[in-house]
Amino acid sequence: MQQPSRPAAPQKVAPVMPRIPGVNDKTAGGQVQWKPLIAVIVAAGVCVAGFAYWLSYRRHKDQQESLPAAAAPAEVSIPDPSSATHADTDPNVIATVDELERPWSSKKFNFVDPQTHDSVAAMVVHLPGSGQSFWAFSLNPPFSRCQLQFVADLTALSQRFAFPATHPMVVSDCEGTIYDPLKMATLPDGSWVRGDIVRGSGIRPPIAIQVQVRGREVVAARME
């Protein structure tokens, strides 16, 4: 009896690897070409490093921009001691000798009481005569609502008060009182004060302010 024939055994199929250019190519000796692969890896690394650096730079810049801008340092002006005058530091330096050089020249100022720090309207006058003689007084007379005035115009004195003055006077329009800067008066306590009353119903001479000359400066020392 004839035996049936056996089917032929299936042939084994070897897996075929995908072909990657530059990787699967072999030289005639069967060696893989590594240089192209290394170049690709290095280029990829450079790109990754560059992207990481750019990302870090952007993050740092965004943080800086989000912070409040620092205030610029304020400019501090330092005064030059050589340019400062005594009048800048001493409030009772009321004038200079040059300002009151001519006889009967005058200047208004504010006397600051060193104890109470009250400011009082006042005036200083250069009296005629030998040497430097200055008379300072408060422009606010006691028990009067009018401020005193120093009148150097003799014609105005004659027309307003009918007084034949031969030199400037201090006047009060409220009472029509005239005070003579060249005459002294005696107060009830026996002290002498300048500015005797020569016309009108004033109570007493103007309140005196003691002045001193220090170098070229006229300084108000204290009030009566």
pLDDT digits (tens, 9 = 90+) for 77-119: 334 444 344 444 466 899 999 999 999 999 999 998 878 888 9
The Cβ-side half-sphere exposure at 40, using a 13 Å CA radius, reads 9
Q: Quick one: 105 and 199 in the same domain?
A: yes
181 within domain boundaries:
yes
Cβ partners under 8 Å of residue 46, min gap 6: none
Shared-domain flag, residues 198 and 112: yes
pLDDT band at 17; cut points 50, 70, 90: low
- Whether residue 11 is contained in a domain is answered as no
Beta pairing class for 192-199 and 119-127: unpaired
Residue 149 to residue 152: CA distance in whole angstroms: 10
Residue 106 sits in the same domain as residue 208: yes
Please state the separation of Cα 196 from the chain's center in Å.
47
Condensed to tens digits (0 to 9), the pLDDT of residues 141-162 reads 888 888 999 999 999 999 988 9
DSSP for residue 1: -
My answer on whether 108 and 50 are in the same domain is no
Average pLDDT over every residue of 32-47: 62
Tell me how far apart the alpha carbons of residues 137 and 209 are, in angstroms, rounded to a whole number: 5
Q: Which of 48-57, 132-141, 207-216 has the lowest mean pLDDT?
A: 48-57
Of the residues 31, 65, 99, the one at which a domain ends: 65
Length of the chain: 224
- Domain count within the chain: 2
Tokens 């009472």 correspond to 175
pLDDT of the residue at 145:
82
160: domain CATH number is: 2.102.10.10
Whether residues 104 and 212 share a domain: the answer is yes
Domain limits for position 22: 18-65
Q: Tokens 């692969």 identify what position?
A: 37
Query: Are 61 and 101 found together in one domain?
Result: no
Percent of the chain with pLDDT over 90: 44
100 is a domain residue: yes
Which two structure tokens, joined as six digits, stand for 57? 């730079």
Name the burial class of residue 130, with classes exposed (0-12), middle (13-18) and buried (19+) by CB atoms within 10 angstroms of its CB: exposed
CB within 8 Å of 199: residues ≥ 6 apart: 161, 163, 176, 177, 178
